[in-house]
Amino acid sequence: MARLAPLDLDHLSPEQQRVADAIVAGPRGRLRGPFESWLRSPGLADPAQRLGAHIRFGTALPRDLSELAIILAGHHWRSQYEFWAHARLAAEVGVSAGVIEAVRTGTPPPFESDGAGAVYQFVKELLDTGRVTDATYARAHELFGEQAVVDLVGTVGYYSLVSMTLNVFEVAMAEGETPPFPDQP
């Protein structure tokens, strides 16, 4: 972390330790990404990590569509770490290399399903304008249902927070990895 010194995990405050233990004991299994930054504010870290656990592991969206939304948020914020981390996860759950590369470069992806196209349109409109059109909303609602649309908005919001955190505190990708946006710091 370029802007924050690494936390001494052996000398956390009781509140920091409680949150760190919850993160490590949960589905993530370790501290990475934004969590060490957030631990400086345990009151933020705890609800943020619980929201993230739902968004990542309990959303009503199919996992491939959730990961598509996440990489779209990472691209929007030009977050090196976020896009790098979730492009790998997106590939693992079936998002094609062509779609991932198109999102990375900002070109329209070659979608093979209506669902992926609907998520792309919804997320792009939301991030570009702060809203979605009635037609885009209706299409997503019809394809996914009310709960999944709420989860989709939550996914974009949560991963925008994650991306901003990673960018501001300059959280580095794993050593030796190629940044997905070479024109960004």
* Residue-wise pLDDT tens digits, 43-83: 999 999 999 999 999 999 999 999 999 999 999 999 999 99
- Specify the pLDDT at position 167: 96
The mean predicted confidence, pLDDT, of the chain is 94
Domains and CATH numbers, the chain: 14-57 (no CATH), 63-168 (1.20.1290.10)
Q: How many Å apart are CA 56 and CA 59, to the nearest integer?
A: 7
Secondary structure percentages of the chain, helix, strand, coil, to 5: 65, 0, 35
- Specify the pLDDT at position 100: 97
In the predicted structure, residue 1 carries a pLDDT above the cut 80: no
* Residue-wise pLDDT tens digits, 159-179: 999 999 999 999 988 889 999
Classify each residue of 27-53 as buried b or exposed e, where b means 16 or more C-beta atoms within 10 Å of its C-beta: ebeebebbbbbbbeebeebbebbeebe
Tell me how crowded residue 170 is: count the other CB atoms within 10 A of its CB.
Answer: 14
End-to-end CA separation in angstroms for the chain: 13
- Say which DSSP state 12 is in: -
* Residue-wise pLDDT tens digits, 104-148: 999 999 888 899 999 999 999 999 999 999 999 999 999 999 999
